[in-house]
Amino acid sequence: MIIGVLALQGAFAKHAKALEKLNCSVVEIREPKDLIPCQGLILPGGESTVLSRLMRLNKLDIAIQKFAHKKPLFGTCAGLIVMSKSINSNQQTSPLELLDVAVDRNAYGSQVASFVDKIDLLQPSIQQIPAFFIRAPKITEVRCGVEVLGRFKNQPVIIQQKIKGVTHLGSTFHPELTNDLTVHEYFLKLCDVLV
Ligand code: GLN
């Protein structure tokens, strides 16, 4: 399976490592044509305002929106922010509007308030997995069609939405910073049904 990882800014290298451990080929995405061989795409954490600006500059905003009509996207942290419909406290990011949620940026505080803890997954199976929250957003509103796959202190931290047969995934935490591959493995299953 070939998966793209948006490599304009932020935490893309660790996502690539996690995918390689699951026997995927990884393509670093820097321009629209890089998307051609990919069966799915990860938008990593970083800084959503910068990510969004660089996507626009590289004409990747429109290319990714088109890609998302046919293939799954997985946004982590800033990646989730960029995929959301509404972003509180931010005028500078142009959201891709693929996940019908509202998010509040930096909702746990600044970098020093970053933490690792266990979250409660409901899907793909009920279990606890470790998760890094780094200047993480909170999902403040989950609208119709969005499914909550996991919670931390009862708040949704991983969600999915199916749009015309394609399921997109988003997490407020960084699954790529732990050795637990559950979330990446689940994303690959979402990509695989389309092969
Ligand atoms: N706080 C960052 C933002 O608003 C996201 C942080 C992250 O991706 N780890 O974009």
Q: Does domain 2-193 have CATH number 3.40.50.880?
A: yes
Active site residues per annotation:
77, 174, 176
Identity (one letter) of the amino acid at 187? Answer: F
Does the C-beta of 169 come closer than 6 Å to ligand 1?
Answer: no
CA distances from 175 to 1, 78, 107, 120, 134 (A): 20, 13, 18, 13, 11
Minimum-distance ligand 1 atom for the alpha carbon of 49: 10
pTM: 0.96
Scan for tokens 């591959």, then name that residue: 181
Instruction: Please name which of 146, 152, 150 lies closest in space to residue 183, comparing C-alpha atoms.
Output: 150
Rounded CA-CA distance 167/190 in Å is 7
**Buried b / exposed e along 158-175 (16+ C-beta atoms within 10 A):** bbbbeeeebbbbbbbbbb
- pLDDT tens column, 34-51: 999 999 999 999 999 999
- The verdict on the CB of residue 172 being under 6 Å from ligand 1 is no
Question: Ligand 1 centroid vs 182 CA: distance in angstroms?
Answer: 22
CA of 34 to the centre of ligand 1 (A): 24
What is the whole-number distance in angstroms between the Cα of residue 46 and the centre of ligand 1? 5
Q: What backbone phi and psi angles, to 5 degrees, belong to 49?
A: -65, -45
Task: Check: CB of residue 115 under 8 Å from CB of residue 133.
Answer: yes
132-190 pLDDT, tens digit each: 999 999 999 999 999 999 999 999 999 999 999 999 999 999 999 999 999 999 999 99
Tell which wins on pLDDT, 13 or 112: 13
